[in-house]
Amino acid sequence: MSNCALKASELEVIRGGKAVLTGMSFEIKQGEVFALLGGNGAGKSTTLLTFMGLLKPTRGVAEVMGQSAAEQPDAVRSQIAYLPESAALYDHLTAWENLTYFLSLSQCRPEPKALSDALDAVSLPVESRGKPLKSYSKGMRQKVAIALALLRETPVLLLDEPTSGLDPSAVEDFHDIIERLASNGVTILMVTHDLYGACQVANRVGILRAGQLVDVFEADADGNIEINTVRDLFLQQQVA
Amino acid sequence: MNLNFRIQQEFFFLLKSKAVLGVMTLLLIMSGVSVVLGLNYVAAERQEIVELIQLDTEERAHKRTLAYDYGGAAYDAFHAAWNPPSDLTFAAIGQRDLNPTLMRIRALAIEGQIYETDSINPELALAGRFDFAFVAAYLLPLVIVFVFYDLLAAERESGRLNLLTVTAQNARSLWSIRILLRFIGVLIAVLLPLWIGMSVEGASVGLMLSATLAITLEAVFWTALVLVIATRPNFRSETIAAISVGTWIVLTLAIPIAGKVYIESSVTGIKGSEVALVQRESVNDAWDLPKSVTMDAFYASHPEWANSAPLHEEWHWKWYYAFHQVGDEMAAGLAQEYRATMLARDELTARFSLLSPAVAIQRRLEALAQTNLSASLAFEDQVRDYHEEIRRAYYPVLFEEVPFSKERLAQIAIPDFSESAGLDSE
Amino acid sequence: MSAITLIAADELRYWRRSKVAWTVLLTLLLVSVCAALVSNSEISRRVNERVAQQAEADAIFQAQPDRHPHRMVHYGHYVYRTASPLAVIDSGIDSMVGTSIFLEGHRQNSATFAAARETGLLARFGSFSPAFTLQVLAPLLLIICGFASVTREKESKTLYQLIGQGVSSSNLLFGKSLALGLVALIALLPLILLGFTSTGNDSFGFRQSLFGMAFGYLIYLSIWVLLIVSFSALLRTSAQSLSVLLGLWIITVVLMPRIASEYASVSVPSPTHVETDLRIAETMRAGGDSHDIEDNAFVGLRSLTLAEYNVESIEDLPFNYRGLVALRGEEADTEVLNQFAEERMAQELQQKTIADSFAMLSPVVAMRSFSMALAGTALPDHHHFLRAAEDYRYNMVQTFNRLQMSEMTLAEDLARNDSDDSGRRTRVDASNWAGMPVFELRPRDHAQRRQAASQPGFTMGFWLIAAFCLLLLSTRWLRT
């Protein structure tokens, strides 16, 4: 088998009677960070849901670690950690309780040490960890959600607009974590409309328009992406 | 392997869900109150029975001291009959307050005595009883609706559903334990007071299991129904709540009321008052008929007394009791029809219970508690048998025209109702 | 157009476009009309049955042959309870109380054969009448229509736009209430139509009572409208508003009436009829047996009567002394019986008062009492029937006792069982019963019914004021 972690071939997905993805194809290698850029309604979230087996493609296949998401959703989901757009955790539970509960769902019993390590890694203030999430800022919630993704220790991470609504320093912290994960061999697919953040953190950036991947930009040897080219194309797409 | 931890975490999660826990606690309290009220009710009934037996015995003894002929002694001698509450009556009082449960009968025509019910306060009766059967039929489904209606929708509306599903790998492992724990919680809340009540009453294990099974089946039905509605994709939580409560109204209010209208208009058999009227007429007409007409009719059904001395023109008690008995015989057909009317209505009610779980659970509980129509009619049969024992006990002295003596009167032994009906003495 | 009517018009336009609202309105209309029709046929069937039975009983009674009058005392008579004409709207306790009473001497029988027993289990599920629709279903349908009236604006953020455009929050809530109130009026339509179309003799003010009921239901539904809009304004989301309002409905409509009656029956326990019978028997024992002129209880009567007529023995009296004993005996018995009956009725009223006090916790309890009282199907109306039946019984029995006094001599009366011939001599002409006036229940008049409805009426007024205060309070809440 190849070292391809995520693979979309000729994906076509219909949602609510409308074709959202119209024959999208791409491959993501293990340990790669791939950012999918697109405007509203371009099909970004649909792509993630299809990879998680929550949406069934009408044509084509979405594969995770060589398994079809549509046919073996359980096996695929055990390989995936997912960070939803608006850190959707339980407001009435504390960070500790949220993490323990969600991990118990994946048949995993976390050690207290692992929990505090993960919360350290996302630098969640120690004094907040025992308080219910309803007292948290959006950035703090996002940190708890990331900690959950880290604790899952899966080979693949799917991120939905991970930096929207975060303050600049939180965005910096987040990018550090992504780079650390990637260097550990975790494959990351993030969908975003944050052009600059995507170019900064990704190995490759794909531009999604009307349900199709129209262009892919690869980072050079230094890990940089020519941001102006990407921006021009992205904005051109927005106008169109 | 980590299933225990999973259950433990779901349990913890349940404890943290204040609304769900609050509704379950409310159900526990309501069920508890209904059981306490029910126990109170049967305790009062038992007390009444004890007092009745006491007063009845005293009154009869007093009347016997005043007696100067056998017929008059029989006329004055009332005998208590009672329908003791069962071990489950406290949970389903049913129509017990409208059916005769305590009565005092004598050797006169039974049709004039047997329909005497307790005088209830109609305005209180109108509201219906707050017994366990009410909690089970009305409140349990509503609690189930509240506990399950937004199970899915709340997660979807707060954006957690995808994360939950992906983390748990599939929907079944995500929901099964949460649903099961909530279901068990609801079941315990409703059943715990019932179990305690039944233990206090000393009910058998079999009866407990039957009652538990009935409630569990009802809870399974409602949970399944609500979950079918709640798992419809794209239903908002308030839509689910409105549809679920709407279903509750149809099944718990609309169908039973429609059933009542249908039953009352389709089965319009004989009215009880007509039975009483016919019996009364027959007894009264006897006064104006030649005595031999009455006596011939009586001897036809009681050939053992046919050799009794012929009657002359003057008054005789044996004629008096004979025409009462003949009155009963005349009304017997109508009385049977009256019962048949009620049974036919009950039969139709059974059919409506297929359409309404509220009717079904009430019927089941009333059957288990022996507070239903057939139990009431069985009691009526016992009373009729007892009545026959009483009148037959006086026939020898009347028809053999034994001269009156207090000693002979004392020898007329009529068993207690408990002996006659084979009740367990408590 | 004022801001209030604009808001109301806007709300109505929203409903016109939404499927839910149409469904609710159609259901409400359909249910109200069906309830009126079904209830009408049910009540008229019951009334016809009873009228027919009463006619049959009267015919049989009047056709009785020549008899000894005391035989007629024991023969007795049946009277049937007729339903109030407004039972069509609120049948009240009609199905819970016996339909007929057997009237005879020396005894007061209770009304037996309640429809509820003959119907069986389903009788307790309520009856399909306009009262049930208005008390139970209409609030629920109003909740489904109105729970989101304000939360919807909050969730779609249009609330801030409205307030930003200068709509005051009180005008907003008044407008929403007005719109919901118009829906409530649809539920009241059948009642009002019935009031205007009912014709015929109305000497007991039933039309006035009907309008009183309609007014009561208007207040009742207004209370619900105000509560619904208030909670919708106070709570954050539509889901919260719906669950709180449904919870309120369950507690006040389903739970409270039962809790009230359980509480009342526990706090004032009623004796069983057997116990009462025994106590009556015990008390009456002192009054003696009026069939027996030698009974010690009548020694005083004998000497007084002898003295009054200045004769030596009862045989010399110008009338049948046995009849006099029967007359005086019945008088004494009736006094005892009435005392017990009044005691029982007072106790029932006491229980009702206790149950009615729960009206402070639930507007439905107030509405139920108010509606039954005006419909003439409440407890006092049943007591009225019992008293009327007792009057009729007493007059009937005493008429026969007077016949026994005047129509035969003591010697004839004492010899009545000796032979058929001597029996015949004590018989009284059949025209005496054929001419007895039939039992006719004069219903209580409007003033009496209004009197009974005043207490729950005041409580509903209190609820209306409280609900209005809540609405005003929630306008402040909305502003902040």
**For every residue of B53-112, which 3-state class applies, written as one string?**
HHHHHHHHHHHHHHCCCHHHHHHHCCEEEECCCCCCCCCCCCCCCCCCCEEEECCCCHHH
Which tokens in the block code for residue C316? 């010399």
Indicate yes or no: CB of B167 within 8 angstroms of CB of A54: no
d(CA C12, CA C21): 9
Residue C68: name the closest of C416, C434, C421 by CA. C416
pLDDT at C480 over 60: no
CB–CB contact A101 B173 (8 Å):
no
Domain membership flag for residue B203: yes
- Asked if residue B185 is part of any domain, the answer here is yes
pLDDT at A108: 82
The pLDDT of residue C437 is above 70: yes
B328 domain residue, yes or no: no
The distance of Cα B292 from the centroid of its chain, to the nearest Å, equals 44
**How many beta carbons lie within 10 A of that of residue B171, not counting itself?**
14
Residue B389 burial class via C-beta count within 10 angstroms: exposed 0-12, middle 13-18, buried 19 and up? middle
**What pLDDT was estimated at residue B424?**
64
How many Å apart are CA A94 and CA A116, to the nearest integer? 13
Q: Which of C98, C124, C418 is nearest residue B128 as measured by Cβ atoms?
A: C124
In a domain, B184, yes or no: yes
d(CA A85, CA A44): 11
Domain that residue B13 falls in: 3-18+133-246
Q: What is the rounded distance in angstroms from the CA atom of residue B333 to the CA atom of residue B345?
A: 18
Q: How confident is the model at residue A237 (pLDDT cuts 50, 70, 90)?
A: low
Question: CB distance from B253 to chain C under 8 Å?
Answer: yes
For residue B289, is it within any domain?
no
Partners of B55 on chain C (C-beta within 8 Å) are 275, 278
Least confident of B313-322, C12-21, C312-321: C12-21
Q: DSSP letters along C173-222, please?
A: HHHHHHHHHHHHHHHHHHHHHHHHH--S--TT-HHHHHHHHHHHHHHHHH
Q: What φ, ψ does residue B314 adopt, rounded to 5°?
A: -75, 165
Question: How close does chain A come to B22, measured CA to CA in Å?
Answer: 15
Q: Which residue has the tokens 């059919």?
A: B351
Per the rule left: phi > 0, alpha: psi between -120 and 50, beta: everything else, C120 is left
Contact at CB, B158 and A85, closer than 8 angstroms: no
CB-based contact A109 B173, cutoff 8 Å: no
Whether B82 and B417 have beta carbons less than 8 Å apart is answered as yes
Question: Tell me, what's the pLDDT at A2?
Answer: 56
Task: Say whether the C–B interface has 3 or more Cβ pairs within 8 Å.
Answer: yes
Q: Looking at the predicted structure, is the pLDDT value of residue A233 above 80?
A: no
Reported confidence tier of residue C208, pLDDT bands at 50, 70, 90:
confident
Nearest chain A CA: its distance from B3 CA (Å): 7
Pairing of the two strands A33-37 and A204-209: parallel
CB contact under 8 A, A152 and B167: yes
Rg (CA), chain B: 29
- What confidence score (pLDDT) does residue C296 get? 82
Q: Which tens digit of pLDDT belongs to each residue from C80-122? A: 988 888 888 898 888 888 888 889 888 888 777 777 777 777 7
**3-class secondary structure for A157-181?**
EEEECCCCCCCHHHHHHHHHHHHHH
Q: In C, which residues are within 8 Å of B362 by CB distance?
A: 121
Q: Structure tokens of C462?
A: 């209190």
Which subunits have 3 or more CB–CB pairs within 8 Å of chain B? A, C
Distance between CA atoms of B97 and C273, rounded to whole angstroms? 12
Specify the pLDDT at position C199: 59
The per-residue pLDDT for range A137-157, each reduced to its tens digit, is 888 888 899 899 889 889 999
pLDDT at C307 over 80: yes
Q: Backbone dihedral region of A165: left (phi > 0), alpha (psi from -120 to 50 degrees) or beta?
A: left
For the beta carbon of residue A71, count every other beta carbon within 10 angstroms: 12
Tell whether B235 is covered by a domain.
yes
Regions of chain B short of the pLDDT cut 70: 1, 270, 424-426
The pLDDT-based confidence of A1 (bands split at 50, 70, 90) is very low
Of B9, B10, B162, the CB nearest to A52: B162
In this structure, are residues B283 and B323 in contact, taking their beta carbons and an 8 Å threshold? yes
* B164 with A105: Cβ contact below 8 A: yes
For residue C200, which phi and psi values (nearest 5 degrees)? 95, 180
Nearest to A74 among B12, B159, B170 (CB): B170
Phi and psi torsions of A236, nearest 5°: -60, -40
What pLDDT shows up at residue C345?
93
The residues, any chain, with a CB within 8 Å of residue A219's CB and separated by 6 or more, are A202, A203, A204, A225
CA distance B182 to chain A (A): 17
Residue B152 maps to a domain = yes
ipTM comes to 0.89
Structure tokens at B213: 């099974």
CA pair distance B326, B341, nearest whole angstrom = 23
Query: Looking at the domain assignment, is residue B29 inside a domain?
Result: no
- Residue B426: per-residue pLDDT: 44
Lowest mean pLDDT, pick from B121-130, C238-247, C282-291 = C282-291
Q: For chain C, what's the residue count?
A: 480
The set of chains that have 3 or more CB pairs under 8 A with A is B
Is A92 part of the contact surface with chain B (CB cutoff 8 Å)?
yes
- Residue-wise pLDDT tens digits, A44-65: 889 999 999 999 999 999 999 8
Residue B62: closest C-alpha in chain C: C282
pLDDT tens-place string over residues B269-282: 767 777 878 888 88
In total, how many domains does chain B have? 1
Alpha-carbon distance of B257 to B356, in angstroms, equals 11
Handedness of CA C57, C62, C63, C66 (dihedral sign): positive
pTM here? 0.88
